[in-house]
Amino acid sequence: MEDPFGGGEAGRRKAEELATILNKLIHNLCIRCAKSDSIYDYFHVGVLGYSEESCKPALGGELSGRSLVPISELASKPLRIEERVKKSDDGAGGVMDQTVKFPLWFDPYWKGGTPMCAALKEAT
């Protein structure tokens, strides 16, 4: 997970790309569970981080150490909200940069190998 993603041209590690993808997925789940002024607990979400040394819940902040969290609680307790730049259609066939708020529930972490079997045993 420490290796560069996509051959290294982008300068981001695999762990950083995976964290972005999973944080975006959690955000989309929160949006899909929102109806009028409530977020319905259609899902309970857990994120496991694993390395050669351990396999443990990876959510941060107030949710740290918890294996499963109702989506309504997850939506209201991100670790932090960052501003990121994304490419958007400018309406004239071009592309423009747009600043968006991006909630994060966990940060990327990498250390040593990644024994997937241990993580799958923990998840079941």
Rounded CA-CA distance 96/31 in Å is 25
pLDDT of 52-93, one tens digit each?
777 889 899 999 999 999 999 999 999 999 998 988 888 888
Q: Tell whether the torsion through CA atoms of 6, 112, 16 and 12 is positive or negative.
A: negative
Provide the pLDDT confidence category of residue 2 given band limits of 50, 70 and 90.
Answer: low
Provide the pLDDT confidence category of residue 115 given band limits of 50, 70 and 90.
Answer: low
| Mean pLDDT, rounded, for 3-17 | 67
Mean pLDDT taken over the chain: 85
The overall pTM is greater than 0.95: no
| Mean pLDDT, rounded, for 117-122 | 70
CA 64 to each of CA 20, 47, 76, 94: distance values in angstroms, whole numbers, following the listed order:
18, 10, 14, 42
